[in-house]
Structure 1
């Protein structure tokens, strides 16, 4: 197949992003953004690791929440993967993974409060849906032939455990380790809603202008992510999993009456609680749609499309930094460090930092999403480019980039970009909590106004939007014959 369909699709998305950029609010409202940006970078190069005594505890709790949440998600996800052929299971998993971890945290906060269970479930529930989907795909790709060689009396479970699981065991372990890295980022940002992880202390440092203290926290988080291959050893995993719950902290006790009231009263639509009947319910639904859902949807879509295309541009511009066809070992090391920083920094944290420096607008969110996702795609494309063999007479410099490598990598690049589309949409919605008028802004506003019925409806609407984008992404990848799930 020629590149014409992929290029045509790329140009369509580029045109949509340019149109979105024309209507997006990308103003810088800070009085002196460059001075603030300079103070932030000064804090990064002069970190203060000893000013805050609770930093080690914050890191331990960040790791603990990640381990417990990911362990539960992997366990239940594997069990659901065995029944993933059932439509009800697939739909349920798709729905729970479409809701961002912070949205789950906001829900559980309303009745569990600042209890460790809030953070654990906020990670475990969406990760269960993600694990179920990916594990089932890995199991489906195994060869069924070895199972036919076993004695006829062998049960289905023994056949499954001895023939199918060993074939994909390495893939299952690799993907679970990758998900743990994602869980560390998810755990860190849970601090922004009050849980005692790294984000809580990072927000406190930024709000007080303590950039050296904030820089120390970020550097330690980068080191934690970068050294995962060193401390995440398979023999130590049981010890980590057993020890993790003891480092979650105590939190406040759960008031079970709040749990009952939340499910029996708080989330029931107001017209039904007040006996206004179906007419009142329809008026209420129309009000939510016009005043909250539609404006939030518009801003979410605009921001997503601009960030998606900018992520692709950054990825295409940065992957040569780690490709053996362009740079030597020293420069590649520098490129790897830069991409590790970009892909390790959660979008929410980066957007929060840029909002403090530039002021409230779509620009910090666009840049944060593009840098994070562009860094991830650049890392994967750069690794793939180093595996390609070039002719002895291949051109150098820009000719090698534009005529040799990009045409050979473009389809994989596009598959990765469309694979990140739904993820960017999820992150765009949640960035509304920071004050950007995406769907998360209206969810957070409803919660602040103690309108939990309104907030839950908007969260459901956000999940449905993510499902639509995921379906559209799969359709486009199928029509362009792109790889459905990038094997990276």
Structure 2
């Protein structure tokens, strides 16, 4: 690790010396007390709801990308692979879809947001599209790994007896992998909430855009309130994930 720390110029002691420590303490001191004006809290509630909407819409569009790509690229659902070797046409389609998913998730959502802000303008639309593309690639890749790592005996038997790809998925793979698939989806929704806040810093709307404005104005109390709301949103997503795990476990 030492060469890596040297290469990254990692010097945490600079935070505690001279002007840096004074600026840090002054900035943190401005967090107390958190802002709690009625108009401000109403604005925070509105932007928090918009942040959740951006994350949820982005994940929903990501699923539109991920689910078909998973069903078409998963080897365990390939009818031609039942003979032991997948047909050339199916293998090429599977590889093309996997490359497409790699391309989508290789570009960070922040970069997609910068592109879409210039295409569709400032606002939540850019954030929704950015999350959809990046998370569509992530979900499609992980869904495929989950399905292929499980027990495929039931789905293979269904395919051998004349069932289609969708029937093999819904009656063979989905029942035994539902808990893991839903848990990962909710985890990605939680990540999308965090991402939507970051995307707000580049003009994609939501709580992040207001947080950026408050930080530029050195309004520590407003920043503290929005950070607390942000923590509450992530906690809510975590509780939702735990509930779904218990319900489907």
Same-fold status (TM-score > 0.5): yes
2-structure distance, mates of 1:23, 1:37: 18
Q: CA deviation at 1:58?
A: 1.0
2-structure distance, mates of 1:204, 1:227: 25
Q: CA deviation at 1:136?
A: 0.2
Q: TM-score, normalised by structure 1?
A: 0.42
1-structure distance, mates of 2:212, 2:71: 41
Q: Which residue of 1 aligns with 2:211?
A: 202
The question of 1:67 aligning with 2:56 is answered yes
Q: Which residue of 2 aligns with 1:78?
A: 67
The question of 1:189 aligning with 2:198 is answered yes
Q: CA deviation at 1:45?
A: 4.3
The question of 1:49 aligning with 2:57 is answered no
2-structure distance, mates of 1:128, 1:48: 37
CA offsets 1:150-184 (integer angstroms, 9 cap, x no match): 48243332122100111111100000010011000
2-structure distance, mates of 1:73, 1:38: 41
- For residue 178 of structure 2, the aligned residue among 160, 166, 169 is 169
**Gap change, CA 1:18 and 1:42, over 3 Å in 2:** closer
For the aligned residues, what is the CA RMSD? 2.7
Pairs within 5 Å for 1:277-288: none
Q: Bigger relative contact order, structure 1 or 2, given CA contacts below 8 A and separation 6+?
A: 2
2-structure distance, mates of 1:153, 1:203: 57
Q: CA deviation at 1:93?
A: 1.1
CA offsets 1:74-100 (integer angstroms, 9 cap, x no match): 232121112335221111211111111
CA offsets 1:112-133 (integer angstroms, 9 cap, x no match): 1124321111100010110011
The question of 1:58 aligning with 2:47 is answered yes
The structure carrying a bigger helix percent of its residues is 2
2-structure distance, mates of 1:100, 1:41: 30
**Gap change, CA 1:75 and 1:111, over 3 Å in 2:** closer
Q: CA deviation at 1:109?
A: 1.5
Q: TM-score, normalised by structure 2?
A: 0.79
Q: CA deviation at 1:34?
A: 2.4
Q: For structure 1, which runs of at least 5 residues remain unmatched after alignment?
A: 1-13, 235-488
The question of 1:111 aligning with 2:115 is answered no
Please state whether the residue corresponding to 2:25 is helix, strand or coil. helix
Q: Which residue of 1 aligns with 2:235?
A: 226
Q: CA deviation at 1:224?
A: 1.4
Count of residue pairs the alignment pairs up? 220
The question of 1:120 aligning with 2:128 is answered yes
Q: In terms of mean alpha carbon deviation, does 123-132 or 73-82 score higher?
A: 73-82
Q: Which residue of 2 aligns with 1:130?
A: 138
Q: CA deviation at 1:19?
A: 3.5
Pairs within 5 Å for 1:249-260: none
